[in-house]
Amino acid sequence: MIIGSVSEDKNFEKRVAITLETVKKYKSLGLEIYLCKNYATHLGIIDEEYVKEGATIFDSEEKVISNSNLVVQLNIPNEENIKKFRQDQILIGVLNPYLNEKKLKELISKNVNCFSLELLPRITRAQSMDILSSQANLAGYKAVIDSFAYFQKAIPMMMTAAGTISAAKVLIVGAGVAGLQAIATSKRMGAIVFATDVRSASKEQVESLGGKFLTVEGSENLETDGGYAKETSEEFKKKQEDLLRETLKKIDIVICTALIPGKKAPLIIKKDMIDVMQSGSIIYDLAASQGGNSELTKVNEIIDQNGVKIMGEANILNKLPVSASNLYSKNMFNFVNNLFDKNKKSFEINLEDEIIKKTMVK
């Protein structure tokens, strides 16, 4: 059985789905690995290194795709590569079915079995495959590093003979995986950290990391059975806005991480809230590619609103492609390993398996 992977469009995606380490893991299962030429040279991994581990390198993407039983990617392939798929192949990646309905319909019409890893159920057995957690963890860390680098003041409190520099005050919007990592990183850098989330269960996690949890009076737990945030009521939104507006007057840096899977990012920080912030403050919006948590966020732009800088990255993980690829490729291997029947030496789609059933796009 053959696993293949082709290069992503490096203008938008620098991560890869197969690393040298995972080539070894796939080979240990008796699987063959087909990659296209210069697959990861942009990450400093030359083709010869992949060949040493047992991978086969092809000059054309068509040869890789057409000869593979299973194709692993980061994002859904482009229209040209979709045409190269054949019946009964398997495609695995972050396919985003809510945005790529047309492409997926074309693949499914060709009887290609498509699995989208962002749809993984939040169960213990799926933790080692959880690409949302592994990638969000890195994103939360990098958002703090980037926003602190852009902030023109020191982060920790410093006491000198010339006077005292106050510690920066940071607000984390959304206390999921990215938010919790942002809290931990900010605290390590010496900031005073506040956090808000619609899930009441987040309070204990935030406080365990040294952050102060902002509680909306009379709030209920807005958490799905899968552990994600629900959409909030208008009454809750109004109370949240009032609390945030007062809090933002004293905040230096805001890291926005609030997302609802498959939907537009919730609008949390409105223009009138930004107008009360101090000049020189930073808003770093990790939700930019899904519409942004801030009303003024624009993808891959820095907006200056009365001295407040609003930053939105389309793909912050392109700034950590080696670390992100290492984690993603391990998540991917664990998913493929679950599909692979070691006795039959083939890939088996068992829809009684919750992991397979929930991630399969139909």
* Banded model confidence at residue 239, pLDDT cuts 50, 70, 90: confident
Residues 41, 104, single domain; the answer is yes
Beta strands in 30-147 (DSSP E): 32-36, 56-58, 70-75, 90-94, 113-116
- Name the residue range of residue 86's domain: 2-119+321-361
Residues 212, 331, single domain; the answer is no
Residues 352, 266, single domain; the answer is no
Which of 98, 124, 138, 128 is closest to 286 using CA atoms?
138
Instruction: Tell me the average pLDDT of the chain.
Output: 92
Q: Does residue 317 register a pLDDT over 80?
A: yes
Residues 140, 109, single domain; the answer is no
329, burial (CB in 10 Å: exposed 0-12, middle 13-18, buried 19+):
buried
Determine, yes or no, domain membership for 130. no
* Banded model confidence at residue 235, pLDDT cuts 50, 70, 90: confident
Of 50, 73, 89, 130, which one is the catalytic site residue? Answer: 130
Task: Quote the pLDDT of residue 98.
Answer: 83
Residues 278, 222, single domain; the answer is yes
Q: Does residue 126 register a pLDDT over 90?
A: yes
CATH, residue 153: 3.40.50.720
Determine, yes or no, domain membership for 77. yes
130 is catalytic: yes
Residues 139, 110, single domain; the answer is no
Task: Quote the pLDDT of residue 289.
Answer: 87
Determine, yes or no, domain membership for 129. no
Q: What average pLDDT score do residues 129-155 get? A: 96
Of 228 and 362, more confident: 362
Per-residue burial over 208-244, b = 16 or more CB atoms within 10 Å of its CB, e = otherwise: ebebbbbebeebeebbeeeebbeebeeebbebbbebb
Residues 81, 20, single domain; the answer is yes
* Banded model confidence at residue 201, pLDDT cuts 50, 70, 90: confident
With pLDDT > 70 as the criterion, what percentage of the chain qualifies? 95
Structure confidence by residue, pLDDT tens digits, 247-291: 999 999 999 999 887 678 899 999 999 999 999 999 999 999 889
Determine, yes or no, domain membership for 218. yes
* Banded model confidence at residue 54, pLDDT cuts 50, 70, 90: very high
Residue 333: what are its φ and ψ, rounded to 5°?
A: -60, -45
SS3 content of the chain, % helix, strand, coil (to 5): 40, 20, 40
Residues 96, 204, single domain; the answer is no
* Banded model confidence at residue 205, pLDDT cuts 50, 70, 90: very high
Q: What average pLDDT score do residues 129-146 get? A: 96
Of 133, 278, 289, 305, which one is the catalytic site residue? Answer: 133
Residue 57: what are its φ and ψ, rounded to 5°?
A: -105, 130
133 is catalytic: yes
Give how many domains the chain has, as a whole number. Answer: 2
Determine, yes or no, domain membership for 15. yes
Of 59, 86, 98, 127, which one is the catalytic site residue? Answer: 127
Residues 311, 327, single domain; the answer is no
Q: What average pLDDT score do residues 160-172 get? A: 95
Residues 37, 155, single domain; the answer is no
**What is the DSSP code string of 242-293?**
HHHHHHHTT-SEEEE----TTSPPP--B-HHHHTTSPTT-EEEETTGGGT-S
Determine, yes or no, domain membership for 200. yes
Task: Quote the pLDDT of residue 240.
Answer: 82
Determine, yes or no, domain membership for 67. yes
Residues 184, 326, single domain; the answer is no
Of 47, 122, 188, 200, which one is the catalytic site residue? Answer: 122
Determine, yes or no, domain membership for 127. no
Structure confidence by residue, pLDDT tens digits, 173-186: 999 999 999 999 99
Q: Does residue 55 register a pLDDT over 60?
A: yes
Structure confidence by residue, pLDDT tens digits, 99-120: 899 999 999 999 999 999 999 9
Of 47, 146, 200, 228, which one is the catalytic site residue? Answer: 228
Task: Quote the pLDDT of residue 225.
Answer: 56
Residues 289, 249, single domain; the answer is yes
Q: What average pLDDT score do residues 61-76 get? A: 96
